[in-house]
Structures are given as structure tokens and as C-alpha cells.
Amino acid sequence: PLSLPFAVGQCGNQVGCRFWDLALREHAAVNKKGIYDEALSSFFRNVDTRSGGDDPDIYKGRICSLKARALLIDMEEGVVNEILQGPLRDVFDSKQLITDVSGSGNNWAVGHKLYGYLYRENIVEKLRKTAEHCDCLQCFFIIHSMGGGTGSGLGTFVLNLLEDEFPEVYRFVTSVYPSGEDDVITSPYNSVLAMKELNEHADCVLPIENESLFDIVNKIQHMINSGKLGSTVKQNSLVTSSAGRAKVVQEKPFDAMNNIVANLLLNLTSSARFEGSLNMDLNEININLVPFPPLHYLVSSLTPLYTLADVNVPSRRLDQMFSDAFSRDHQLIQADPKHSLYLACALLVRGNVQISDLRRNIERLKPSLHFVSWNQEGWKTGLCSVPPVGHSHSLLALANNTCVKPTFIELKDRFMKLYKKKAHLHHYLHIDRMEQSCFSEAISSLSDLIEEYSELDATKGGPRTDPSRLKIAV
């Protein structure tokens, strides 16, 4: 089953770039014979570039030239140009790019209403062409940030478009939320305006907070430097590293953080690409983790963050991986799932981990977690045999948990601070098709969502009365 990622905006494309780099490395580590296989086909086409021009697809046999199934969209050229000049330049062709020059000025209205309108047909056409090469399209991924203008505005415009053009294909969105200290003043506006679109048009959202990524990167750095670990940490087994890339290239400040998000996406799709004893497809994530349509925000955590140099992994370390997945400092947003209410939880394990390891840990951790009364055993599990590069095993946890609420409340508060003073509103309102009601509807949508989570929280720890069963006449 195929996934089609869309990287929109600066952040989206920077993450996307890391993603394709890591994906290629992952497949190279597994695919020793250079044969184009099912696993590769989920993210890459195999193209015959010798014929020049049309580049027909080769479905079997040796790898000729791999092209990412993707669309890269940015309203300024800097990031995309860098990708096209870098080591990934052959992985994309011009038919997959949609760029402009002036950027969106950190303005959601410019991204959504202005560029959306301008580029709609272009995007639809390129989308259709890309989809034509996919014989079984299962889901779309949008990778973007919420705080800016392009990723946030144009990204959510694309989301709407995808729903119109391909209503049956799942829409997963990986959204990077701005931190409180974000240097873009209008990021709360952009984020809340984008949230409304996510509420209404996304099937599943994986919110990520820069603060959390930053904390994780620092934590790893600290652990390495302090020498506390005794043995050395393997360089290419850091969830933040570029997995053995030649050190010649200077790593940019956000690279480590972006690698985490890229690894999240790789792990999320691993079971759909590689074999295992209990496969987990992306469409299964939706049905298991979204009990009610509005509640589709999933908190994610990736463990381990690094692997030690020694190869033997006693089961204690394996169990530690599971414990870490539920700890506050491994979550990719500022949240503590242990103290909030779980609606559902998914665990996708990679590597040499068997069903008994999974069950032992679920039994062990269950008592300390609060699950909603109608889903006391709300666990979805997957076992994929192929571990990520450099690790012997890894775990991705996805939680539908009310701990997302504080993130949304804070966002609402930051929004209201600006909105009450009508600060910067004119920058938005003078864009065609943009009205005051966009703001009021957006904040209303966010408030409703927060209310839904609050209602669920209220049921936590309350008395549990199971509904009476149907009575049958004997």
C-alpha cells in the first residue's frame, strides 16, 4: 500500500528532506540485492531515466533510478533549491515541485487564501499525475508547521483539496506546533486558523512541539557528553543522527530535531513496508485510534533515543524501552499521558521483539495508566521484524490521550492575547476572501475541541457502571 507525502513550507520540506534521506538508507540496509521490491515501492518509483523525458516506471527487476513519490511545495525557493542541489537531487524531478519566490510572510491568509487560489489547479494537476503512478494509494501525509504562512496556510489548503479530490484516501498530518517563545509573533493566529482545518479535514494528526524536540536533542547530547552511560553511544543509532552520513557536511541547527520527526514517519510506516508477525497498516491506525471523528490527535513517542554500543540486549533494556515510551520526557509534545486519560493506545514494535515481550510489558504498565471506561483494553499492537538502521529494536507509541488538551489551551490563550487587542489583524483581513468570521470560527472550533477533551477528563476515575446487557427470552 502506498503513501504519498506532501512537504509544505520551510519546516515541512526540511523534515521531508531528512525523511527521504533516512528512508533511502533504511531500504539500502535491508535491500542488499538492489532489486526493486514491494517495500521500496511504498515510497519510491523505479524509473527508467535512459529514455529521457517521459521516465516510464519499471515495476520489477533491478533498481534503475529511484524517485520519491511526493510533492514538495514552498512559496519561497531557498529550501527546495537546497534539496535539488544536495545529495537528494536525483530523487525528485521538476514535476513534483511547486514553488514561488516571495514566501507567505508568516501569514496563514496569504498561504491559504492567496496562494491556495493561485496554485489550486497546478497542485491538482501534479497531484493527479503523481497519484497515477500509484496503483494502490492508501494515504496522504502532509508534513508542515503550524506557526508560519506556507506550511500552515497552503498546507491546510492542500488538505482540503485532498479531501475533495480523493475523499477515500486517509489524510495523516504531521504538524509542528510553535513554542511559546516562537519568534513569529503571529504564530498563534496561524496555528489556530490551521487547527480549524485540521479539525474538519484531517483523519489523523500527529502534533509535534519544537520544545519537546529541543529537549530530547539536549537530553541526548547531555547523556553522551556526561559519559554517564559508560559504554559509548553508537553514532548512527541516535534517533537524531543522519545515520552515518559523512561528517563533511555541517549539520544545520534543526537537523537533529527534524531527524526525530523523520524517524517518526519511518517507524509509522515500517509495518506497511516490511514483514512481521503482526502487521499494522496505516488504515488500521485510523480505525483503532479514532473512536469519534473530532478526537483524532495522537501523541507520539519514540524509543529508544539511542543505542549503546554493546550488541546483547537483555530483556531489562527491552522493558526499559517500553517504560520510556510512556514517560513525559519521551513524548513529542509537552504532555504527560500517564496522568491523563487514554482513549486508545497503539504500540508499533520493530526488531527482534516477540508477542510475549509485548504482552509482558502491557501487563506491567497497564495498572499505572488510566483508560476510558469503555475501552479498558484499548491497545493496538504491531510487530515488524525489521529494526531501524543502527538499532536492534525500537518502539513507536501513539496515544489518543486527553493530555493534548494543555497544548491546545495554551494555544488558545496565546491567540486570545493577540486577538483581544486586534493586533496584526489587518495583515490578514486585507487578503481577498479572508474575513473576521474566519477568526471567530477558528477559535470556536478550537474551544469546542477543548471542551470535548474536558468532558472526557471529567469521567476519569469516576465510578464505573457497565451498561446492562440485552435480555433474551428463554
Partner 1 sequence: MSIITVQLGQCGNQIGREVFNAICSDVHGTHGLCSKKENESYHDACKERFFSEEESEVPVARAVLIDMEPKVISQTLSIAARSGFWKYDDRSHFCQKQGSGNNWANGYSVHGPRHKEVIMNLVQKEAEKCDRLGGFFTVMSMAGGTGSGLGAFVTQCLRDAFPTSFILNHVIWPYGTGEVIVQNYNSVLTLSHLYKSSDALLVHENDVVHKICAQLMSIKQISFRDVNQVIAHQLGSVFQPTYTAESGSHYSRNPLGDLMETLVPHPEFKMLGLRNIPQMPENSLAYSTFSWPGLMKHLRQMLIANAKMEEGIDWQVRPPCLGSSVPSSHSTNKPLHFNTSIANLVVLRGKDTHSVDLGSFQDPSLYTSWINPQDAFNAWKTPRAFNKYEKSAALVSNSQFLLKPLDNVVGKAWNMFASKAYIHQYTKFGIEEEDFLDSFTALEQVISSYSIL
Does position 136 bind partner 1 by CB under 8 A? yes
Region of 95-103, 285-293, 404-412, 418-426 interacting with partner 1 (CB under 8 A): 285-293
- Which residues, numbered 382-441, are part of the site for partner 1 (CB under 8 A)? 383
Does position 374 bind partner 1 by CB under 8 A? yes
Identified binder of partner 1 from the candidate list 165, 275, 329, 441, rule CB under 8 A: 275
Contacts of 421 (CB under 8 A, 6+ apart): none
Q: Which is nearer to partner 1, 100 or 281 (CB)?
A: 281
Question: Which 3 state secondary structure label does DSSP give 327?
Answer: coil
Shortest reach from residue 231's CB to partner 1, in Å: 24
- Which residues, numbered 313-342, are part of the site for partner 1 (CB under 8 A)? 315
Shortest reach from residue 318's CB to partner 1, in Å: 10
* CA-angle at 23, arms to 22 and 28, nearest 5°: 95
Segment holding 357, helix H or strand E: helix 355-365
Using an 8 Å Cβ cutoff, are 426 and 381 in contact?
Answer: no
Cα–Cα dist 272/441, whole Å: 37
Shortest reach from residue 126's CB to partner 1, in Å: 23
Identified binder of partner 1 from the candidate list 5, 151, 178, 378, rule CB under 8 A: 378
Does position 118 bind partner 1 by CB under 8 A? no
Using an 8 Å Cβ cutoff, are 205 and 268 in contact?
Answer: no
Does position 160 bind partner 1 by CB under 8 A? no
Question: Whose grid coordinates read 513569529?
Answer: 184
Shortest reach from residue 275's CB to partner 1, in Å: 5
Helix/strand/coil percentages in the chain, nearest 5? 50, 20, 35
Question: Which 3 state secondary structure label does DSSP give 342?
Answer: strand
Does position 291 bind partner 1 by CB under 8 A? yes
Contacts of 189 (CB under 8 A, 6+ apart): 108, 415, 418, 419, 424, 428, 439
Does position 59 bind partner 1 by CB under 8 A? no
142 phi/psi in degrees, rounded to 5: -110, 130
In 3D space, the residue among 267, 269, 254, 22 whose CA is nearest the CA of residue 140 turns out to be 269
Identified binder of partner 1 from the candidate list 363, 421, 426, 461, rule CB under 8 A: 363
Contacts with partner 1 by CB under 8 A: the residue count is 48
Identified binder of partner 1 from the candidate list 173, 289, 386, 399, rule CB under 8 A: 289
Shortest reach from residue 11's CB to partner 1, in Å: 30
Q: Which is nearer to partner 1, 50 or 471 (CB)?
A: 471
Cα–Cα dist 411/429, whole Å: 21
Does position 288 bind partner 1 by CB under 8 A? yes
Region of 58-66, 105-113, 194-202, 466-474 interacting with partner 1 (CB under 8 A): 466-474
* CA-angle at 426, arms to 421 and 428, nearest 5°: 110
Cα–Cα dist 399/365, whole Å: 14
Cα–Cα dist 214/209, whole Å: 9
Identified binder of partner 1 from the candidate list 131, 233, 278, 308, rule CB under 8 A: 278
In 3D space, the residue among 157, 150, 53, 61 whose CA is nearest the CA of residue 433 turns out to be 157
Identified binder of partner 1 from the candidate list 85, 225, 356, 437, rule CB under 8 A: 356
Using an 8 Å Cβ cutoff, are 169 and 388 in contact?
Answer: no
Does position 279 bind partner 1 by CB under 8 A? yes
Region of 73-81, 236-244, 304-312, 464-472 interacting with partner 1 (CB under 8 A): 464-472
Identified binder of partner 1 from the candidate list 235, 319, 373, 418, rule CB under 8 A: 373
- Residues of this chain that interact with partner 1 (CB under 8 A) are 1-2, 38, 135-136, 138, 275, 277-279, 281, 283-284, 286-293, 315, 344, 354-357, 359, 362-363, 366, 373-381, 383, 466-467, 469-472, 474
